[in-house]
Amino acid sequence: MSFIEYFISALFLQAGYNSALVAVGAGLLGLSAGSAGAFIFLRKRALVSDAISHATLPGVGLAFMIMVAFGSDGRWLPGLIIGSAVSSAIGLLMVEWITRKTRLTEDAAIGAVLSVFFGFGIVLLTVIQTMSSGRQAGLENFLLGSTAGMLISEAMTIAIAGALAAAFVFMLRRPMTLVAFDPEYAATTGVNVRNIDLAMMGLALIVTVIGLKIVGLILIVALLIIPPVTARFWTNQVGPMIGIAAGVGGLSGYIGAVLSAAEASLPTGPIIVLIAFGFFLVSALFSPLRGGLASALRHQRFQRRVHRRQGLLSLARREPIYDGLTLRILRRSGMIRRDGVATARGRVAAQKAARDEARWAVARRMLPDDSAIERYDGLTPIERMMTPDQIDEIDRIIAARNGAKA
């Protein structure tokens, strides 16, 4: 069977029970990681999960050693998961403790915890390598993840845990949304912000430990970060953002697991991360809402409008224009001649801009409390903000004042 055929059959879960289970598990993992990550992202604590994931390593090592001491072969996945959960919880508490008790900031605490726990974990791994039963432990696979040779029971564990985590996110979505959006308001409505924060981090922890086997502890943090960053490009609302993040995470996990099942040389974790990055890249460039192309175009248009408006006002006031870009824009739109003198069209447009400006000045005096006027950005034509009779009223005031002056 060719790679493509295998990929397609695996994509539709027809390539064998085991790889189907792995794919579903990875999909569920991505789903819960994406949605949990969205809350953490909104809370601006994305890299706390990096500390959590690196802090799993000593737990994996210690759990292995303890299980061996009790006579098992030490590779029982639920045992390793529990061990990693305990040590990453300790790491998380250390981050909190350092930031609360000392003057160090959270980024320093994260960096310290992740490197020290990871270093200690490596020390334990080298100890395990010297144990007679540890030579074939394969614990290094937890660094980068691997689905090759995964047991059905392990795939089952991951799929069930992934489903549980997804359910957990679904249950807590309302209070977590509140806290992520506005913690102070959430507190006034009786939500215990600290507990919800802990629950969020707990979710990250769960996602991390169940993702260890598939994605590995160095890259699992990507599944918590990339989907929400991607989702942010498409929406300004919390609800849809969480949904999109979950979708991106789920798809990345699913497609990545299928791809690496189809081609054994492709390591699962990196493939999943790169697929997620692909989603990010497309969104970052092409999203009409906040994508790079759309933003760049919008900014350029905005800058041109500002220069055009300022240029026209200068023309109306018979002030010289120095700015090169302003001159170019006016020249190109036929407002001024090559030598900088206003054309007939330019004079009309300049007069209109000046009249607009005078009308706005009066409007501000007339309606000082009006929120529409406070929002004035200096560019919007007054016709778009005021009714014709309001404008007539403004013009009457201007005429009266000019009459008084004359």
Partner 1 sequence: MSNAKLVAESGKIVDVAAKDAPLTVRGLTVSYGNKPAVFSVDASIPAGSMTAIIGPNGAGKSTFLKGALGVVPRLSGEVRIFGKLFAEARDRVAYVPQRASVDWDFPARVIDVVLMGLYGSVGLFRLWRSRHREQAMDCLERVGMADFADRQIGQLSGGQQQRVFLARALAQNAEFYLLDEPFAGVDAATERAIVSVLKELKAEGRTVVCVHHDLSTVPEYFDRVLLINVRRIAEGPVETTFTAENLQETYGGRLAATHIDELHLA
Partner 2 sequence: MIDDLITALGAEFVQLSLSPIVIGILAAVACALPGNFLLLRRQALIGDAISHVVLPGIVGAFLVTGTITAVPMMLGAGVAAIIAVVMIEIVKRLGRVEPGAAMGLVFTTLFAAGVLFLEVTDTSSVHIDVQHALLGNLESLIWFDAEGWGSLFDPAALATLPPQLPRLAIVLVGIGLFILLFWKELKISTFDAAFAEAIGIRTRLLSFALVVATAIAAVAAFDAVGSIIVIAMFVCPPASARLMTNQLGRQVGWSVVFAVISAVLGYVFAGYGPGWFGSPYAVSAAGMIATISGIILILTCLFGPQRKRTGQRAEA
In angstroms, the CA 167 to CA 178 distance is 18
Alpha helices in 263-343 (DSSP H): 268-286, 292-316, 324-332
**Per-position b or e across 389-404, b if 16+ CB within 10 A of its CB:** eebeebeeeeeeeeee
Closest by Cα among 16, 7, 31 to 246: 31
Task: Count CA atoms within 13 Å of residue 395 on its CB side.
Answer: 13
**Among 307, 315, 382, 394, which residue interacts with partner 1 (rule: CB under 8 A)?**
307
Residue 371 CB, nearest approach to partner 1 (Å): 9
In angstroms, the CA 109 to CA 399 distance is 66
Using rule CB under 8 A, residue 397 touches partner 1: no
- Residue 252 contacts residue 28 (beta carbons within 8 Å): no
Q: Residue 102 binds what, of partner 2, partner 1, none (CB under 5 to 8 Å, by partner type)?
A: partner 2
- C-alpha 340, offset from chain centre: 48
Stretch that binds partner 1, among 113-121, 204-212, 219-227, 364-372 (CB under 8 A): 364-372
Residue 373 CB, nearest approach to partner 1 (Å): 7
Using rule CB under 8 A, residue 73 touches partner 1: no
Using rule CB under 8 A, residue 302 touches partner 1: yes
Q: Residue 356 binds what, of partner 2, partner 1, none (CB under 5 to 8 Å, by partner type)?
A: none
Closest by Cα among 349, 331, 37, 367 to 169: 37
Using rule CB under 8 A, residue 365 touches partner 1: yes
Interface residues with partner 2 (CB under 8 A)? 41, 44-47, 49-50, 97-98, 101-105, 107-108, 110-112, 114-123, 125-127, 130, 140, 143-144, 218-219, 221-222, 224-226, 228-229, 232-233, 265-267, 269-271, 273-274, 277, 280, 284, 290, 292, 295
In angstroms, the CA 329 to CA 401 distance is 34
Residue 276 CB, nearest approach to partner 2 (Å): 8
Q: In this structure, what is the dihedral angle of CA atoms 19, 20, 26, 28, given to the nearest 10 degrees?
A: -160
Q: Residue 233 binds what, of partner 1, partner 2, none (CB under 5 to 8 Å, by partner type)?
A: partner 2
Q: State both tokens at 25.
A: 């598990």
Residues 319-358 that bind partner 1 (CB under 8 A): 319-320, 322-323, 325-326
Residue ranges that bind partner 1, judged by CB under 8 A: 103, 298-299, 302-303, 306-307, 309-310, 313-314, 318-320, 322-323, 325-326, 361, 364-365, 368-370, 373-374, 376-379
